[in-house]
Amino acid sequence: MKSEMMRRVMLRAWGNFRKGAGEISFAEALLRAWISEKAAPVNAARIAEAKAAAGVTEETKTWHEWYESGFEVLHGSKAMFGAELIWGSKGAGATYKARFFGASQVVPVGTQPPKEVA
């Protein structure tokens, strides 16, 4: 378990370092990787809390997560709920607002009806 966590942290640190292209040191990249690792359970709890507060029971994911799963969000769909999550790869104290869409708001990629033109 611990070695798997260390592996994830080091892989993320190298990825952060390469993306930084000389803007951040490896030490900073490693710090950001640790922040991301520590933030994962906190983010999961924040998502579950926001989902419960919104009264949503169906499966939900972000737009990007749905797209990676082979689905796309229907045009004009409003997010079911949002949560402020920790953005570890941007450094200490960085957060972002994630929006979540339900399974009833997605269709397989390529099957979305065309937009209405007024």
Q: Where are the alpha helices (DSSP H) in 21-92?
A: 26-54, 63-68
How many residues are listed for the chain in this entry?
118
Model pTM above 0.75: yes
Q: What is the pLDDT of residues 21-66, one digit of tens each?
A: 678 899 998 998 999 899 999 999 999 999 999 999 999 999 999 9
Copy the structure tokens of residue 15. Answer: 């990825």
Distance CA(78)–CA(62), nearest Å, equals: 12
The residues pairing with 82 across neighbouring beta strands, listed in sequence order, are 99
Cβ–Cβ < 8 Å for 70, 109? yes
Task: Tell me the CB-side half-sphere exposure of residue 113, using CA atoms within 13 A.
Answer: 5
Q: Is 101 helix (H, G, I), strand (E, B) or coil?
A: strand
Place of tokens 């979305």: 112
Distance CA(88)–CA(99), nearest Å, equals: 18
Q: What is the pLDDT of residues 81-90, one digit of tens each?
A: 999 999 887 8
